Amino acid sequence: MRDLLEAVVQRGSEAGASFCEARFFEERSSSISIENGVARTLGSGILRGVGVRVIVGGRWGFASTNLLARQSVETALEDAIGGAKSIAAQRGEDAEIVDAKPEVDTIHHKVKIDPEDISSEEKVKSMLEIEKAARTFSDRVKDTFVSYREVLTKVVVCNSFGTSIEETTPRTYAYCSVISKRGDNMQTGFEFVGNVAGYEIVDGIQPEQFSRKAAEKAVKLLDAQPPPRGTYTIVVDPRVGGLFVHEAFGHNSEGDLVFGGQSIISDKMGEKVASDLVTIVDDPTEPKNGRFVYDHEGTKARQHPIVDKGTLVGFLHSLESAAKIGGEPLGSARAQSHHHPPVVRMSNTYFGPGDMTFEEVLEDVDLGVYLSGSQYGYVETQKGQFTCKVEQGWLIEKGELTDHLRDVAINGLTLDALKNVTAMGNDLRIDMPGMCGKSGQGMYVDAGAPHMRIEGITIGGRR
């Protein structure tokens, strides 16, 4: 495959492309779905193809195909070149990139247990055991769902700088969700694990801490109250903190949104954007779900400091954003598949730890809300307004957790919220393996935080 990609890059350069990149993508996945004790569906799929990207006449062109014959990939090159030429006369954003050091390497992420070595029957048996722990937790449990997914992703990147990278990454996931019911009241609880890892992920699952925990959450939420409405001091756990840092600040630090005029921090480099307690890092070298060695432009990944003690110190860069706003690309450009061009993405994003215990973070809160477990979030980066939906909460009264709360969502303005961080715990945990959506692409990421306290956050709810 590398020979084909290198030949296409050579041909693109000869055809006048000032930059040419050819990228092979293959993703093999298998899954098992268990519902109420029945292994109802087993599935598998293969995504495979080539994406070609060029700069011709100062404009970007991109084309992709699932057809791997040389002629088809060369047609994709012609389409990419034709595309770039077709928009040359249109008003737009010129293509510029920094010169990249060529990298030649082959990476295979190692696993302790290769999922291929475990039979499907064995996997089904393990998942059924995990599911049973949830189903038998209580007679309030109405429905249980457990799913397993293994993914092996191979990316080969060749470009006109002479880069030729191949990286193969295994990921394994398990997910459990439970619906509880009492009368008309139904609630859900869930748990998930996942990482750049093999079947050891499943072997490491203790049902009491996983599926029974999901069931316990679902059942206990039957007695929880809707949250109070208004502006409160909040304390968040590592998963909510992870969702918050990802949505509220991480997206704003993505270089393409910065040069594209879509970020509220585009003119704030070197300025104070958060309280002194806030340090934010994006680190693809952490052994978490967003781990990689080379990004999809072939840049070697390094840790990206974004905020240091409240001061903005860095953006996440692609080759293009580094050229346009200044900075060094540290490997943040990734693509969902061959059908997508690389865009700037977070990897493992987290708030750095402080020195307080959880109890100390809570103790000064007279009236507030403690939030636990992340569901989903989104941000309007151009306005700096974020929304995060969380699994559950508790009222905080005089430093103590009291009423249990359900269906809690928070909203705030990023820069106001970060300046109002008044306590940072010492218990950093990166534990939110999932997918992030941007520009129509999903990407493997992770996020985390220590327990932390933020003043003046809007809580939506029915009370």
Which of positions 180-219 make contact with other proteins (CB under 8 A)? 181, 184-188
92 binds other proteins (CB under 8 A): yes
Question: For the chain, first and last CA: distance in Å?
Answer: 60
Residues 298-337 touching other proteins, rule: CB under 8 A, are none
Identity of residue 392: Q
Residues 434-453 that bind other proteins (CB under 8 A): 439
142 touching other proteins, by CB under 8 A: yes
Q: What is the b/e burial string over 301-320, where b = at least 16 CB atoms within 10 angstroms of the residue's CB? A: beebbbbeebbbebbbbbbb
* Closer of 3 and 71 to other proteins (Cβ): 71
Q: What angle (nearest 5°) sits at the alpha carbon of residue 203, between those of residues 207 and 37?
A: 50
Binding to other proteins (CB under 8 A) within 366-385 occurs at: 380, 382-385
Asked if 121 interacts with other proteins (CB under 8 A), we say yes
Kindly state the smallest distance separating residue 430's Cβ from other proteins, in Å: 26
Pairing type for strands 348-351 and 441-449 reads parallel
Name the DSSP class of 226. P
CB of 462 to other proteins, least distance (A): 5
Kindly identify the residues of this chain, within the stretch 382-401, that bind other proteins according to CB under 8 A: 382-385, 387, 389
195/321 with CB nearer other proteins = 321
In degrees rounded to 5, what are phi and psi of residue 7?
A: -65, -40
Rounded to 5 degrees, φ, ψ at 84 are: -60, -45
Q: Which of residues 66-85 bind other proteins (CB under 8 A)?
A: 66-69, 71-72, 75-76, 79-80, 82-84
Which residue, chain included where needed, has tokens 């295979």? 108
Among 70, 86, 108, 326, binds other proteins (CB under 8 A): 86
d(CA 463, CA 455): 20
Tokens, residue 267: 């003119």
Q: How far is the CB of 47 from other proteins (least distance, A)?
A: 5
Binding flag, residue 275, other proteins (CB under 8 A): no
Residue 135 found at the interface with other proteins (CB under 8 A): no
In the bound complex, what is the minimum distance in angstroms from residue 48's beta carbon to other proteins?
5
Region for residue 225 given its phi and psi (left: phi exceeds 0; alpha: psi -120 to 50; beta: otherwise): beta
Q: How far is the CB of 225 from other proteins (least distance, A)?
A: 11
107 binds other proteins (CB under 8 A): no
Question: Which listed range, 4-12, 65-73, 108-116, 419-427, lies at the site for other proteins (CB under 8 A)?
Answer: 65-73
β partners of residue 157: 23, 165
58 binds other proteins (CB under 8 A): no
- What's the burial of 157, exposed, middle or buried (CB within 10 Å: 0-12/13-18/19+)? buried
Q: Mask of contacts with other proteins, 233-262, x by CB under 8 A?
A: -----------------------x--xxxx
Near other proteins by CB under 8 A, which window of 349-357, 395-403, 406-414, 443-451?
A: 406-414
Q: How far apart are CA 39 and CA 432, in angstroms?
A: 26
Question: CA 316 to CA 246: how far, in whole Å?
Answer: 13
Position 409 contacts other proteins (CB under 8 A) = yes
Q: Are 219 and 455 in contact (CB under 8 A)?
A: no
Q: How far is the CB of 254 from other proteins (least distance, A)?
A: 11
- Two tokens, residue 117: 């070595």
Q: Does 42 bind other proteins (CB under 8 A)?
A: yes
Q: How far is the CB of 288 from other proteins (least distance, A)?
A: 27
What residues from 7 to 26 belong to the interface with other proteins (CB under 8 A)? none
Q: How far apart are CA 74 and CA 21, in angstroms?
A: 12
Query: Contact 389/380 with Cβ under 8 angstroms?
Result: no
Interface with other proteins (CB under 8 A), residue from 17, 19, 49, 250: 49
Residues that contact other proteins, how many (by CB under 8 A): 85
Sequence-separated (6 or more) residues with CB below 8 Å from residue 276: 309, 310
Of 256, 194, 257, residue with least CA distance to 414? 257
Smallest separation, CB 263 to other proteins (Å): 10
Examine residue 293 and tell whether it contacts other proteins (CB under 8 A): no
Phi, psi of 154, rounded to the nearest 5 degrees = -120, 130
Which of 58, 230, 287, 437 is the binder for other proteins (CB under 8 A)? Answer: 230
Residue whose C-alpha is closest to residue 348's, from 297, 306, 389: 306
How many whole angstroms separate alpha carbon 316 and alpha carbon 249? Answer: 11
Q: Does 93 help bind other proteins (rule: CB under 8 A)?
A: yes
Of 284, 314, 373, 412, which lies in the binding site for other proteins, with binding defined by CB under 8 A?
Answer: 412
Rule CB under 8 A: choose which of 21, 282, 283, 407 binds other proteins. 407
Q: State how far the Cα of 147 lies from the Cα of 43, in Å rounded to an integer.
A: 11
Nearer residue to other proteins within complex by CB, 172 or 381: 381
User: Does residue 139 belong to the site contacting other proteins (CB under 8 A)?
Assistant: no
